[in-house]
Amino acid sequence: MKQVLATLAAVSAAAVLTFSQPAFSQQTTDALAPEAATGQQAKSAVRAREFMVVAANPLAAEAGLSVLRDGGSAADALVVVQTVLGLVEPQSSGIGGGAFLVWYDAATGKVTTIDGRETAPMAATPELFIGDDGKPMEFFEAVVGGRSVGAPGVVRLMQKIHERHGKKDWAQLFEPAARMAEAGFTVSPRLAALIDEDAPLLAAQPSTRSYFFDGSGTPLQQGSALLNPAYAETLRTIGAEGADAFYKRPIAEAIVSAVQGHPNNPGKLSLEDLANYEAKEREAVCAPYRGLDVCGMGPPSSGALAIGQILGILSEFDLEGLGPEDPQSWRLIGDATRLAFADRGRYVADRDFVDVPKGLLNPDYLKSRAALLKRPDGLSAEAAKAGDPPWDKAELRLDGVSLEVPSTSHFVIVDADGNVASMTSSIENGFGARLMTRGFLLNNQLTDFSFAPQENGEAVANRVEPGKRPRSSMSPTIVLRDGKPLFALGSPGGSNIIPYVAQSLVGLIDWKMDISEAFAMPHFSNRFGRYDLEAGTAAAELADDLQALGYEVRTTDMNSGLHGVAFLADGTLEGGADPRREGVAVGD
C-alpha cells in the first residue's frame, strides 16, 4: 500500500502547473511519444485563465482551442473537436456513431443533456442477435457487417447544440477537419498499434482494407501520412447543407447501401430510420455527494444513475478518513459498484421504452443498500443482487447482461463565457462495424443491447426493440458546488467507464487530489464480484489484501481515457488528461 501512495506522490511531483502554450507544446510531444501507445506517461496538469479544451488527440484539442481563441463558444469548438477526432482517432468516435452531451449554461446556471445515442432500425426485432441455431450470436459474429449498425446521432447532436449556443458559422466549423483530411495527418502511435491489432478484421472488409493498409497490404505504421479526401467532401457537404445532408440525401443512401449490402452480415437500417432520427434533450440526472451535485446523462445511459448510486452508498462511510492506502476503502468502493451494477442490469434501459424506477437514487433506498456493506461478513455474493427500489410503476424485469467493448472518446470544453461541454462519443467497438463509407466508419452500437431478449417469458429491459436506443455506460459528468461547475469529466472504457469516473470523483472530492493525480490513480474495478486490478501499476500491491477480504482478484489492462477540467477557487481552470493515452489539456 505504501507503493500506491508513492506512485501518487510521484505523479503529484510531476504535475508542475504551467499556463497554456508552453504546456501544450510539451504535452503534444509527450502524448505522441511511442510509450504513449502502450504505457503510462506522467502528464502535467495544465492551467488556463479563460478557456480550455481537453481531448484525446493533440490535433483535435489544438483545433478546438483555435476556435475559442477566435471568439467561438464551447458549442462551436465541440463541432471542430468531434470532426477532427473522427479523422485522427477514427477507431473511437466519429460522425458514424453516437454521443451523450452534458452542457452547463453559464447564463442560466442550468445543466441539461442531449442524447445523441444510436437507434435500432424500425425493422429490428428482439431476436436480432439470435443465430440460426436459436442461440445468441458470438460477439464478433454480430459486430462485423451491417447487422450491428444503428442510426448515428452525432451529427444531429452537433447541430442541436450549435443552433442553441453556437456563435460561428456552421459551415466554417467543418473546415479544420476537412483541410486536415485533404492535406493528410500523421498516424499516431496509438492508431498504428490498434490498426495492427485489428488487422485481420480490417483486412477482411474492402472499405477498411483500402484505407488502413498501404499499397503492399501492410497495416499503416506510426508516422505514416494518411489522407482522407472522401471525409473532407462529406464534411463540407454537411457544412453547406446542414445535418439533413447526412440523414436524408446521398450520404444517407451510402450508409444504407453499406449496411444492407454487406455480403455476409447485412443489417436492417433504412433511409426512413436515418430521416427520422432525433437528438433528444433530456433532463440531467443529478445526485448529491458530500454537499455537491453530481450531474450526468440519464437513460439510455446507465452512467449517472450508477455513479449516483455508488456515491450515495459511499456517503455513509468516511472515505476521507480511510484514505486511498486502506484496503477497506477499495472494499467499500468495489461493493458499492457491485450493487449499482446489479440494479443497472435489471432495471436500466432506454426510458422511452422501459419504466426506470426513480427510486434508484432514493436516499432511504441507498441507505438500505449501504447497510449491506456494514455487515460483519461483508457483502456476500447473494447480497450483491438487484434491490427493490421505490417505484412509480412496478415493472419487474429479468437481469440482463450486454457486452460493452471499449472504443470511445471523451472531451471537455470550457469557453470564455463559462459554458461547459462534457461529451462522451463512441462507435462502440474499436473501428465499429468495420464498415467505412464516405470517409467515416459506421458504429456497431446495437451490440450494446442484450443479445438474449428474454428467459422463461420474462423480458430483459435492454433487449432490442424497433427505434430503441441501447443502454450505455458512457458517463459525461459535471459536478456543481452551489450551482457553479467544480469538475467536468468523463472517460472511455466500456462498462468500466462507471468505476473509472466514480473512482476519480472519490479521488477529487474525498481524497483532495488534483485532477492529474485523480486520473493517474491505479484502477480498481469490481462490477460483478471479481476485483480487476490495473496491470503494470501499484494496484497489484493490493491483491493480497483484497484476496484476504474474500475477493477473487485478476490483474488486467484497464485503458481508461479520463479527460476533465477542475474549476479552482481563484477562477483558474485546471485541465487533466489520462496518462494512458495521447490526450492533452490546452487553454489560455
Residue 407 counted as domain residue? no
Q: How far is CA 273 from CA 118, 132, 141, 149, in A?
A: 10, 26, 23, 11
Element (H, E) at 78: helix 74-88
Sequential pLDDT tens for the chain (588 residues): 434 443 443 433 333 232 232 232 333 333 333 333 335 677 878 999 999 999 999 999 999 999 999 999 999 999 999 999 999 999 999 999 999 999 999 999 999 999 999 999 999 999 999 999 999 999 999 999 999 999 999 999 999 999 999 999 999 999 999 999 999 999 999 999 999 999 999 999 999 999 999 999 999 999 999 999 999 999 999 999 999 999 999 999 999 999 999 999 999 999 999 999 999 999 999 999 999 999 999 999 999 999 999 999 999 999 999 999 899 999 999 999 999 999 998 899 999 998 888 899 999 999 999 999 987 666 765 667 888 887 655 454 545 544 444 579 999 999 999 999 999 999 999 999 999 999 999 999 999 999 998 876 788 889 999 999 999 999 999 999 999 999 999 999 999 999 999 999 999 999 999 999 999 999 999 999 899 999 989 888 889 999 988 899 999 999 899 999 999 999 999 999 999 999 999 999
Global pTM reads 0.92
- At residue 380, the pLDDT reads 67
A 10 A CB-CB count for 458 gives: 12
Instruction: Give a yes or no: residue 533 inside a domain.
Output: yes
Spatial distance between the Cα atoms of 339 and 502, rounded to a whole number of angstroms: 14
Residue partners of 331: CB distance under 8 A and separation at least 6: 373, 378, 546, 549
Which string of DSSP letters, residue by residue, matches 196-255?
Answer: HHTHHHHHTSHHHHHHHB-TTSPBPPTT-EE--HHHHHHHHHHHHH-THHHHTSHHHHHH
Q: Quote the number of domains for the chain.
A: 1
Alpha carbon distance 445, 119 (integer Å): 9
Q: Which of 408, 424, 447, 537 is catalytic?
A: 408
The candidate with the shortest Cα–Cα distance to 506, out of 248, 331, 315, 259, is 315
28 flagged as catalytic: no
Q: Report if residue 80 sits inside a domain.
A: no
Q: Is residue 175 part of a domain?
A: no
Judged by DSSP in three states, 317 sits in: coil
Residue 382 domain flag? yes
The CATH number of the domain holding residue 387 is: 1.10.246
232 in a domain, yes or no?
no
Q: Which domain holds residue 538?
A: 303-347+358-391+495-555
Do the beta carbons of residue 565 and residue 515 sit within 8 Å? yes
Residue 246 lies in a domain: no
What pLDDT does residue 15 have? 32
Which 8-state DSSP code applies to residue 152? Answer: P
Count other C-beta atoms under 10 Å from residue 577's C-beta. 33
Distance CA 269, CA 191 (A): 29
What are phi and psi for residue 480, nearest 5 degrees? -110, 145
Residue 190 domain-assigned (yes or no):
no
Using DSSP, state whether 288 is helix, strand or coil.
strand
Distance between CA atoms of residues 305 and 484, nearest Å: 21
What is the Cβ-side half-sphere exposure of residue 577, based on CA atoms within 13 angstroms?
A: 32
